[in-house]
Amino acid sequence: MSVARIAVLGAGAWGTALANAFSSHHHNVRLWTIDSAHAQTMIQERTNQQFLSGIPFDEALEVTPDFTHACSGANIAIIATPVAGLRPTIQRLAGQWNKLPVLWVCKGFEAETGKLPHEVAEEYLAPGVGFGALTGPSFAVEVAQGLPCAITLASTNMQFAKAWVAELNLPRLRLYANDDIIGAEIGGAVKNVLAIAAGISDGLGFGLNARAALITRGLAEMARLSEAMGGRRDTLMGLAGMGDLILTATGDLSRNRRVGLELAEGQQLGEILQSLGHVAEGVLTTQVIVRRAGELGVDMPITCTVHEVLTGKLSPRDAVELLMGRDPKTEN
């Protein structure tokens, strides 16, 4: 394996976990944060106590608040901001390094435009520049702890995807190449909404059967939207779809699942989000998915019902009862 020079742009939990993992396997990594005070604290403490507490930094990992320094000499950038931060970050990157290959790890649709991450990236990157999404079932803290994980690197360019899979694949972080970036990104976006639904069901004590039904029927919704937007249904049967959905809907480290659990307990959404300390992308992206599905004529009853709960139009209990009481139909 050759040594990659990687700029990780965004020092939340996932960006920090990836930066540390790649640095510990002999890549040259600079981790950038827009917050200079946060950078100084990480430099002094050699950990990211705010977002990934208890995980010491690899001794070679460099932390910086200087965007230019972070990107200088890099041969790939990994954008690790939430979806809301993707556009300003890639716009800034393209201003000086528009030919630098880019990966991103955010999942969702851009709220203002309804675009997927790759659609935002295409507005700024020079023609022919490789780009892609790192997505799949992955809790940051487990990656940081060195526990086994497998994710997808999806790109419109399979040659680019395969090359960077070979470059970045680690003994405990296995990467798989995929050329269906639409399907992969839709999987990453919709699974967060479905995790909220699963959390609501579990929080109300509706049991494992109900959770399995929500996950399975949610996967069908995800696949219908993917096909309508030009993705492939089979992509949703892999890591970026089913794998990520199962993890996020059942794992107690899932922020979106936690939102659902606490909604079921009667807590207010604003209070839940304030207590999280991290972004729960499912809350932000639900409205966009409902809008896009409506425009395309795609039936997504679970997603639409979660939206009704988040906007206060349905109680969590009424929402699950409504879904389970829908008219019988064929399974597709």
Question: Over its length of 332 residues, how does the chain's per-residue pLDDT go in tens digits?
Answer: 578 999 999 999 999 999 999 999 999 999 999 999 999 999 999 999 999 999 999 999 999 999 999 999 999 999 999 999 999 999 999 988 989 999 999 999 999 999 999 999 999 999 999 999 999 999 999 999 999 999 999 999 999 999 999 999 999 999 999 999 999 999 999 999 999 999 999 999 999 999 999 999 999 999 999 999 999 999 999 999 999 999 999 999 999 999 999 999 999 988 888 888 666 777 889 999 999 999 999 999 999 999 999 999 999 999 888 877 766 666 66
| Greatest C-alpha distance within the chain | 60
Domain extents in the chain:
5-179, 189-324
Instruction: Report whether 191 contacts 222 (CB < 8 A).
Output: yes
* Residues with catalytic function: 191
19: left (phi over 0), alpha (psi -120 to 50) or beta: alpha
Task: Give the closest residue to 264 by CA, choosing from 194, 206, 193, 325.
Answer: 206
CATH of domain 5-179: 3.40.50.720
**pLDDT at 89 (0 to 100):** 97
- Supply 107's token pair: 């999942």
CATH number, domain 189-324, options 3.40.50.450, 1.20.120.530, 1.10.1040.10, 3.20.20.70: 1.10.1040.10
Task: Give the closest residue to 140 by CA, choosing from 62, 55, 83.
Answer: 55
**Distance, CA of 182 to CA of 86 (rounded, Å):** 17
**pLDDT at 95 (0 to 100):** 87
**Distance, CA of 206 to CA of 227 (rounded, Å):** 31
What does the DSSP 8-state code read for residue 327?
P
